[in-house]
Amino acid sequence: MEIKVTLTTAPKAKPQDETQLGFGRLFTDHMFLMDYYAGQGWVDPRIVPYGAFQMDPAAMVLHYGQAIFEGMKCYRRADGGLQLFRPTANFARMSNSAERMCMPRLDEEAAFEGLKKLLEVEQEWVPHNVGTSLYIRPTMIAMDAQLGVHAAKHYLFYIILSPVGSYYKDGLKPVNIYVEDKYVRAVRGGTGFTKCAGNYAASILAGDIAEKKGYSQVLWLDGVEQKYVEEVGAMNMMFAYGNKIVTPMLNGSILPGITRDSILTIARQMGYEVVEDRLAIADIFADAKSGKLTEAFGTGTAAVISPVGKLAMNDEVLTVGDGNIGTISQKLYDTLTGIQWGTIEDKNGWIVKLS
Ligand code: PLP
Ligand code: COI
């Protein structure tokens, strides 16, 4: 499939200070686009200068929220070459999200070719500093101008790129998490396992309240009994008990994180016992109090691994372990980031080298 490339005549200046990148504030010069029309499939793959879309105010995505996205990263190795981490897993998950939202499955091969071509055009935008990367945001939205609640017939798939530092402003420092027992994010049978925009829209209020109380993110409980741990706003959750790592099982209402899967695989390969189960928040709190729970951390593409320092629910605030990053979290972080940035051998076939 031929990808038409139109280059910008006004390239932006690249960031001078890579220690100040933050997350998702700055975008590169170009984007990849591809349309889907019912009866035709995916057509017109193209790279164009980054810029605003023309959209009808009645476009279905703006009213009924058929919108899904992905998040992955392009890493620069010490030798200057570029690589991706499990990109096909992201495109496969996007197709699964699409199916649930009654959107067309992605042409995963065309999307991957589009991404590779876009990264070729934008290679200079992949930052160099330790811990930085080029965040990749594939997105699919419904474009038809129509107010009936039905599946659209025209969808736009696009990929935008953003040079990023760490997701949390404090980097690898432990984050404090608020356990949300009023609002819920997802219910079984709903869209929790997808990366649809609506899941995030539903999470913003609780996130905002938690932030005002001084917490970085919300830990969601199950939507039925509000007793069991689900996940954090942008991360899956893991808990360590000595050499055992436990994490909520995939139940349809949490996102099957690619970092989650990678960390569970690495942990097994390192000899840790790994358990996927239903985890009651009351047990986690009791175990944190008694000292049985030794570490807690979140996993996600944007956040990588984020140790949890404090867990709070209502007026109860608990410190996990000694409040600092634990040994297992540090070891898993070092191994995963080593594979991603190319300093540790990838034994699992996860890395796709681009240059
Ligand atoms: N859970 C949610 C709700 C997320 O938004 C993310 C981020 O993508 C994750 C978990 C972690 O998923 P992944 O490791 O695939 O980035
Ligand atoms: C990611 O980790 O890629 C995410 O999508 C998190 C995002 C919601 C900021």
Of 193, 230, 235, 253, the residue with max ligand 1 atoms within 8 A of its CB, to mutate for a pocket test, comes to 235
Beta bridge partners of 68: 140, 196
Separation of CA 254 and ligand 1 centre (Å): 9
Q: Is 165 in the pocket of ligand 1 (CB under 6 A)?
A: no
175-180 vs 304-313, strand pairing mode = parallel
Tens digit of each residue's pLDDT (9 = 90 or more) over 293-311? 999 999 999 989 999 999 9
Q: Is 236 in the pocket of ligand 1 (CB under 6 A)?
A: yes
Specify the residue for token string 């994490």: 247
Per the structure block, which two tokens stand in for 185? 């994010």
DSSP helix/strand/coil, 283: helix
CA distance 222 to 230: 6
What proportion of the chain, given as a percentage, has pLDDT over 90? 95
* Residue 314: CB atoms within 10 Å: 9
- Tell me the pLDDT band of 1, cut-offs 50, 70 and 90: confident
Residue nearest to atom 5 of ligand 2 (CA): 71
| 251-274: average pLDDT | 98
Residue 84 has pLDDT above 90, yes or no: yes
| 308-326: average pLDDT | 93
- Tell me the pLDDT band of 188, cut-offs 50, 70 and 90: confident
Return the pLDDT at 173: 86
Global pTM reads 0.97
Residue nearest to atom 3 of ligand 2 (CA): 71
Tens digit of each residue's pLDDT (9 = 90 or more) over 146-157? 999 999 999 999
- Tell me the pLDDT band of 171, cut-offs 50, 70 and 90: low
Atom of ligand 2 nearest to the CA of 303: 2
Q: What is the CA radius of gyration of the chain?
A: 21
Residue 168 has pLDDT above 80, yes or no: no
DSSP helix/strand/coil, 43: strand
CA distance 109 to 229: 35
The answer to whether the CB of 127 falls within 8 A of the CB of 21 is yes
Q: Is 247 in the pocket of ligand 1 (CB under 6 A)?
A: no
CA distance 295 to 313: 18
The answer to whether the CB of 239 falls within 8 A of the CB of 325 is no
Q: Which stretches does DSSP call E strand in the chain?
A: 4-5, 30-37, 41-49, 67-69, 72-76, 82-85, 133-142, 154-164, 175-180, 217-221, 229-232, 236-241, 244-248, 273-277, 295-300, 304-313, 316-319, 351-353
Return the pLDDT at 170: 67
**Cα–chain center distance at 17:** 25
CA distances from 289 to 76, 224, 247, 275 (A): 41, 26, 19, 21
Between 266 and 314, where is the model more confident? Answer: 266
Q: Is 60 in the pocket of ligand 2 (CB under 6 A)?
A: no
Tens digit of each residue's pLDDT (9 = 90 or more) over 105-146? 999 999 999 999 999 999 999 999 989 999 999 999 999 999
* Residue 25: CB atoms within 10 Å: 11
The answer to whether the CB of 169 falls within 8 A of the CB of 306 is no
Separation of CA 67 and ligand 2 centre (Å): 15
- Lowest mean pLDDT across 96-105, 151-160, 166-175, 294-303: 166-175
What is the b/e burial string over 139-167, where b = at least 16 CB atoms within 10 angstroms of the residue's CB? bbbbbbebeeeeebbbbbbbbbbbbbbbb
Specify the residue for token string 């209020």: 205
Question: What is the pLDDT of the chain when averaged over all its residues?
Answer: 96
Instruction: Count CA atoms within 13 Å of residue 58 on its CB side.
Output: 8
Q: Is 191 in the pocket of ligand 1 (CB under 6 A)?
A: no
Return the pLDDT at 166: 78
The answer to whether the CB of 220 falls within 8 A of the CB of 184 is yes
